Structure 1
Amino acid sequence: MKLNADQKNEVFSLVKQTILYGLSGEPPLEVTSDDEALNQPGACFVTLTLNKQLRGCIGSLQAHEPLIQDIANNAFKAAFQDPRFPPLTEDESEELDIEISILTTPEPMMGCESKQALLEQLVPFEDGLVLSDERHRATYLPSVWKQLPDKEAFVDSLMLKAGMSHWSGTMQCERYYVEAYEAFWSDIE
């Protein structure tokens, strides 16, 4: 889904409001929008960076609630429940860069019987990737290509993230795309 200017303003205002509520001890907001497109089922990731360093990133791979609610929930979780980081503080919030990535539905990739076969299909800076094998599963958004532009390094790092030590014959690969939007905390109304 591509957002128009009004929709972008609405979702970034919602992210800021959600984080401010969280900083005051309030739970995630229950929200709806006057814009029916934002009330349709959707999946997103909310990524918070501070001084160009990851500060929180949580999201949904599958649409399971209205997009507007998914944005609110993931903003709250990225700020306060990402297990890699302590909860966000008020001082940090003033310097946040926020990215909202709206995902297409992940689609299975055929011909992933080997890592080499997957590497031949990947499109850097465009593909989001989900790798799963039995109980191991992890994803990288297309934005991760900025840090890992080499296809093999991208896949190896994702496997490590998922706790996979080697490629297996039961590996499943899914590809998705995103529409990503970015705003600085101080620029959000």
Structure 2
Amino acid sequence: MPVVGGIMVPHPPLIIPEVGNGREDVIRATAEAYKKAAKFVAELAPETIVIMSPHSVMYGDYLHISPGKAARGDFGNFGASEVEISREYDCELSKRLCELSIKNGITAGYVGEQDPSLDHGTLVPLYFIMKEYKDFKLVRTGISGMPLDEQYNFGMLIKQAAEELGRRVVIVASGDLSHKLKEDGPYGFEPDGVVYDEKIMNVMKTASFGELLEFNSVFLNKVGECGHRSFVIMAGALDSFALEAQMLSHQCETGVGYGICTFRVTGCDPERNFLEKFYEKEIREIKERKEREDEFVSLARQTVETYISRRQIIATPRDLPEVMYADKAGAFVSLHIKGELRGCIGTIAPTMDCVAEEVIHNAISAATRDPRFPEIRRDELPMLEYSVDVLGDPEVVSSMEELDAKKYGVIVSKGHRRGILLPDLEGVETVERQIGIAKQKAGIPDEDDDIMIQRFEVIRHY
């Protein structure tokens, strides 16, 4: 089994004595655990170390693999340019990883390099590892905004490439946990940051990697983590292996979470095929969701599937509830895939003869005309989650006290500029946040309070 183990480690430059100059004492427990993790890597004696760093090149829809024969870097950005590290790349392994990614439909490769030097997300782990072990080549990858399951699959391709080449590999998942753990920390305090740190450490110390795929991007952005996708890729590289997992430390004294765990491969375990189980669960959930969807959502789904598959606009069905023919109203159709917004278009006031026609019209627009996204592809249709919001009449408000981000949507207007935001959206928990987003959508400066605000209620259909 060419992948023989992995480690989860943070990358605070402060932990390097030449950078910290004594300040590193506050995370001494992390430093001691790092030394143990480095010894663990040395015991495994890898030919190649594959590091995933959040501070390498990152794209929303692409996983960057560092090209070239070698790379160097130093801690000059942190006042210690004398601490320099150079490593030769395993070009054969990285090339095979690129080839497998293309073959398996994962957008990853050598394209898009911006800075060839080693970043601190790579340098910090190497600093500790190379004090114990130096007989290895390196493969460095970034992370991506792609869905977590695709990055897990990328990790599985690392495993496959290592197996094909007979390369003895250790995976290093470089990443900090929440950056929002203390009021006086560099990024302030977010209660869910504490929740994330506790949950992720429980997941990692038990190697319950399937749970890594259950985190949604809104929550991850909220807690300010930077390592989750590195952990997911490592989990993919360790898929279907029996593991001996050990948690070495977890600290948050600086306001940022630092966790260290080690994972030793002890054999094969086909029951630990977490990506396959994740997809099986998704299929069940899609089936259950379709079974419980109401007529509004069913109409939106039928409309999108027909239009994307056959380029036909459906005729208004004749077996809908009477209210869908009798009422006129503005309506928004929202499309999501795996919790990520994939399209949302709507009308504030009715533009069609009935609400059923409004849903049909806006469902096609959400799937094909949202300027933020490419048109829905046919292969995405089974994964789409739909919601339909039917809007009540908007009313002008005179003060913020009349608003409620959970109950009311808002329309913010100034002259010909207008922004709308639906109520009860994940990640929009305050009126101030709601108004700010609506202003941004309208192109109104955030500091401009000379605006008209309207509120409206919706009936949301899932």
**How does the TM-score come out when normalised to structure 2?**
0.34
Runs of 4+ in 1 over 6 A off after TM superposition: none
Query: Aligned runs of 1:15-94 on 2, under 5 Å?
Result: 15-31=300-316, 33-34=318-319, 35-39=321-325, 40-65=327-352, 66-94=354-382
Structure 1 CA distance, aligned partners of 2:411 and 2:364? 23
- Relative distance call for 1:130 and 1:33 in structure 2 (3 A) is farther
CA contact (8 A) 2:408 2:457 kept: yes
Residue 3 of structure 1 is matched in structure 2 by none
Report 1 or 2 for greater relative contact order, CA contacts < 8 Å, sequence distance ≥ 6: 1
**Cα 1:181/1:33, change in 2 over 3 Å:** same
CA distance in 2, matches of 1:75, 1:64: 14
Residues 128 and 142 in structure 1, CA contact (< 8 A), matched pair in contact too: yes
CA deviation map 1:84-133 (0-9, x unaligned): 10000122111111111111011122x2xxxxx32x22112001000010
Q: Aligned partners of 1:24 and 1:97: how far apart in 2?
A: 17
Within-5 A mapping of 1:20-169: 20-31=305-316, 33-34=318-319, 35-39=321-325, 40-65=327-352, 66-109=354-397, 111=398, 117-118=399-400, 120-144=401-425, 146-165=426-445, 166-169=447-450
Equivalent residues of 2:331, 2:347 under 8 A apart = yes
| TM-score computed with the length of structure 1 as normaliser | 0.80
TM-superposed CA distance for 1:9, in Å, is 3.5
Separation (CA, whole Å) in 2 of partners of 1:158 and 1:15: 25
Query: Given residue 19 of structure 1, which amino acid in structure 2 is its aligned partner?
Result: V
Instruction: Check the 8 A contact 1:33/1:68 in 2, yes or no.
Output: no
The AA in structure 2 aligned to 1:102 is V
Give secondary structure in 1 for the equivalent of 2:363.
Answer: helix
| Cα displacement string for residues 137-181 of structure 1 (whole angstroms, at most 9, x for unaligned residues) | 01000032x212122222112211110013243x21111001111
- What residue is the counterpart of 2:458 in the other structure? 178
Partners of 1:153 and 1:24 in 2: CA distance: 38
Q: Gaps (5+ residues) in structure 2?
A: 1-292
Q: Which has the larger radius of gyration?
A: 2
**Whole-angstrom CA distance in 2 between matches of 1:49 and 1:24:** 18
Query: Are residues 153 and 13 of structure 1, via their aligned partners in 2, closer, same or farther at CA, if it must alter by over 3 Å?
Result: closer
* Aligned AA (2:392): T
Given that 1:131 and 1:137 are in contact with CA atoms closer than 8 Å, whether structure 2 keeps it comes out as yes
1:186 aligns with: none
How far apart in 2 are the matches of 1:179 and 1:134?
28
Name structure 1 gaps, 5 residues minimum. Answer: 1-7, 112-116, 183-189
CA distance in 2, matches of 1:137, 1:90: 33
Confirm whether residue 11 of structure 1 aligns to residue 296 of structure 2.
yes
Please, what is the CA RMSD of the aligned residues?
A: 1.7
Normalized per residue, the structure richer in helix is 2
SS at match of 1:98: strand
C-alpha distance in 1 between matches for 2:393 and 2:318 = 22
- 1:64 and 1:32 mapped to 2: Cα distance? 19
Q: SS where residue 142 of structure 1 aligns?
A: coil
Is the 8 Å Cα contact of residues 32 and 69 (structure 1) preserved in structure 2?
no
| Identity %, equivalent residues | 27
